[in-house]
Amino acid sequence: MSVVTTDEPFTREYSVEDFGTDYMFRVRIRLGFKVSQSIPAYIHQVMHDLSATGELPAQVSVYPKVDADPDIGTVRYVLIHKALMPESKLSAREALSLKMKYAIRRFAGSPVKWFGLAPYNPVVEVQPLFVTTRRPPRLQRKEVYTGNHHTSAPVADDYGVEKTGEVDKVEAGESSGAGESVVRQDD
C-alpha cells in the first residue's frame, strides 16, 4: 500500500491492483492535504469493499474477541524506511542534500504517528538505498602452509568465517596431533 498526499484539499480515492490473485494486492490511496490520514480505517474499508465484491476471500481473525473488526482477519502493518547505505558514492553536494532531507525527516515526526499506526505495533523495515556504490579495495591472496605442502585455500576459524593468514609450523613437541599447524591472522 502506498499513500499519496494530493494538492487538492479533500481528495479521498483509492485504486487496487490484484496481480491476478486473490491474496496479494497493491493499494494506492490518494488523500487530500486536509484529510485525516487514518490508514487503519481506510485499510479496513478497502478490505470490506474487496470482500463485498468477492475479490478478497472470507477472512477469519486470529483473535476474534480482541480485534475490533474480526470479519476481515488480522492485519499486520509493515512500514518500509529507506536509508542511505555507507557504500553509496555521492558527491559532497548530494551527500549534503540527503543529510538535510534526513534531518527534516527526523524533525517532521514518525510515519507511525502520522498514519495512526502506533496502537497496532507496526514493523519498521529498512530498505537500503544505493545511489551508486563504490567498490571496496581488492583482497590480496596469500599462500597457506598446511603441514606437507603450500596451498592457497582459505582456512576457516572457530565461527566458520574463512580467513587467510600467516601460518607458523608447530614443532613436534608442541603439536597435539599429526600435521597440526597454528594459524595467526594478520592484522
For 124-175, how does the pLDDT look when each residue is reduced to its tens digit (9 = 90+)?
898 887 666 667 788 998 888 777 665 555 555 544 444 444 444 433 334 3
Asked whether residue 13 is domain-assigned, the answer is yes
Asked whether residue 54 is domain-assigned, the answer is yes
Three-class SS of residue 80?
strand
Least-confidence region, from 6-10, 142-146, 179-183? 179-183
Contacting residues for 98 by C-beta, under 8 A, at least 6 apart: 84, 90
On whether the pTM is more than 0.75, the answer is no
Question: What domain count does the chain have?
Answer: 3
Asked whether residue 118 is domain-assigned, the answer is no
Domain hosting 52: range is: 1-75
Contacting residues for 56 by C-beta, under 8 A, at least 6 apart: 22, 25, 47, 50
User: Do residues 95 and 131 touch, judged by C-beta distance below 8 A?
Assistant: no
For the chain, where are the alpha helices, taking DSSP H only? 39-53, 92-108, 111-114
Asked whether residue 187 is domain-assigned, the answer is no
Asked whether residue 186 is domain-assigned, the answer is no
Burial of 45 (0-12, 13-18, 19+ CB in 10 A): middle
Asked whether residue 129 is domain-assigned, the answer is yes
With cut-offs at 50, 70 and 90, classify the pLDDT of residue 61.
Answer: confident
* Residue 3 and residue 54 in one domain: yes
* Residue 25 and residue 87 in one domain: no
* Residue 57 and residue 27 in one domain: yes
Asked whether residue 183 is domain-assigned, the answer is no
Asked whether residue 117 is domain-assigned, the answer is no
* Residue 40 and residue 12 in one domain: yes
